[in-house]
Structure 1
Amino acid sequence: MATNVLIPFYSSYGHTYQMAQAVAEGAEGVEDTDVQLRRIPELEGARQAMSGQDAYVQAQEAMSEHPEVTHDDLRWADGIIWGSPTRYGNMTAQMKQFIDSTGALWQNGELEGKATAMFTSTATIHGGQETTILTSLVPLLHLGMIFVGLPYGENPQILTTDGIGGSPYGPATLAGGDGSRQPVEEELLSARNLGRRVANVSARLKGL
């Protein structure tokens, strides 16, 4: 049977979306793996506040081909790789609101034993590269999921002293203060590696 990998992501300007695409590419490279990209729903207040920004509007249009994530998507998945930019060192309100809606899944233990991981995007190297993923672990562990990190052995590029995103907790990219910086190959490589790693771990967990 195929292993199902779900990638729910929220992205304002497309940086996290680019990382999500790379994660999907890595997971798809694992034999007998089905991969689905799903958007985490936007908050209406945020949409209204940012709808006057061309970069936001263009990014939202580019991502519109992917359906919004549902609870049935979570049930379908054997592994779930979340993507969220940082908000003050934590996940976005959009991602938190969606996770907060999974009470029935938690009560029934429907996500227990599934592999999970996370990737992020920050403006600067000190803007939440590590804390965004670490603080997001709390609700994921409450849901009974098994966290998959990104060890140095599989990603020596994160040992760099250059301004490149990522950590042993998960891939990350840097957007820059004005959002003009785009993910570089080292960051996309980390994302692909995570997708492959979670697909493999999910397959093994599924066989238990």
Structure 2
Amino acid sequence: MARILVLYYSSYGHIETMAAAVADGARSAGGQVDLRRVPETVPETIAAAAHFKLDQAAPLASIDELANYDAIIIGAPTRFGRLPGQLAAFLDQAGGLWASGALNGKVGGAFTSSASQHGGNEVTLFSILTNLLHFGMVIVGLPYSHGGQMTLEEIVGGSPYGATTIAGGTGERQPSEIELAGARHQGALIAKYAAKLTVPD
């Protein structure tokens, strides 16, 4: 059974919801899944004043535990077209894992959200995937086997590089069923690839 980590940062809960869907998809494909979040770096008073969602149930991750997994799927919202500082600060602590090659050959993927359809989803995915490629990971995106991302019937996220959602300018839009289906699809694919690549202990 492949061990999967769904690691995320979420300010307002959109990525938290997507992370749960990714985790559900990985479990449906037989993965043993842990859901973790990266620490908030914004002072609590400022975060509360900005209405950050501070009551998230997922426990905090630590850098050292990343090497324990066969696959790591990372999600975060876009910040001006790239990954947010909270996630960058967390991943910047992984120099030891990079130096030792501890993540080489593991499976990785990314998912994200933005305020608008053209608000930086794909660049943010690549910002996350760049880290994973430097760690030596094998990348799995969201192929067009998730046909929902091709629909013209409604506004929808989705990209061959990873699952996405569109939150709206004030965060008023929640992930749609098509977007959640994409997140589940990507999670399931990553779990299946991780199981094929996992070498027994």
Task: Please give the TM-score of this superposition, normalised by the length of structure 2.
Answer: 0.95
Partner of 1:135: 127
- Helix, strand or coil: the match of 2:192? helix
* Residue 149 of structure 1: how far off its partner (Å): 1.0
The residue correspondences of 1:15-54 to structure 2 (distance < 5 A) are 15-31=14-30, 33-45=31-43, 47-53=44-50
- Helix, strand or coil: the match of 1:22? helix
**CA offsets per residue over residues 25-75 of structure 1, 9 Å max, x none?**
0001112x2100001111034x4422124x42xx221x1x22111123211
- Helix, strand or coil: the match of 2:35? strand
Considering only aligned residues, what root-mean-square deviation do their CA atoms show, in Å? Answer: 1.3
* Residue 139 of structure 1: how far off its partner (Å): 1.8
Percent of aligned pairs with the same residue? 43
Aligned partner letter, 1:43: T
The residue correspondences of 1:55-66 to structure 2 (distance < 5 A) are 55-56=51-52, 59-61=53-55, 63=56, 65-66=57-58
**CA offsets per residue over residues 144-197 of structure 1, 9 Å max, x none?**
111111111x11111123320111001111110011100110000000001100
- Helix, strand or coil: the match of 2:190? helix
Aligned partner letter, 1:156: G
Partner of 1:155: 146
- Helix, strand or coil: the match of 1:24? helix
How many residues are matched? 199
Are 1:194 and 2:186 counterparts? Answer: yes
Residue 74 (structure 1) aligned to one of 50, 66, 75: 66
The residue correspondences of 1:111-130 to structure 2 (distance < 5 A) are 111-130=103-122
- Helix, strand or coil: the match of 1:60? coil
Q: Is the 8 A contact 2:26 2:190 kept in 1?
A: yes
Q: Is the 8 A contact 1:6 1:73 kept in 2?
A: no
Are 1:100 and 2:100 counterparts? Answer: no
Structure 1: stretches of 5+ with no match in the other structure: none
Instruction: Give the structure with the larger helix fraction.
Output: 1
* Residue 205 of structure 1: how far off its partner (Å): 1.1
- Provide the C-alpha distance between the structure 2 equivalents of 1:196 and 1:67, rounded to a whole number of angstroms: 22
Q: Is the 8 A contact 2:7 2:38 kept in 1?
A: yes
Partner of 2:3: 4
- Provide the C-alpha distance between the structure 2 equivalents of 1:155 and 1:98, rounded to a whole number of angstroms: 30
- Provide the C-alpha distance between the structure 2 equivalents of 1:197 and 1:19, rounded to a whole number of angstroms: 15
- Provide the C-alpha distance between the structure 1 equivalents of 2:129 and 2:34, rounded to a whole number of angstroms: 22
* Residue 128 of structure 1: how far off its partner (Å): 1.1
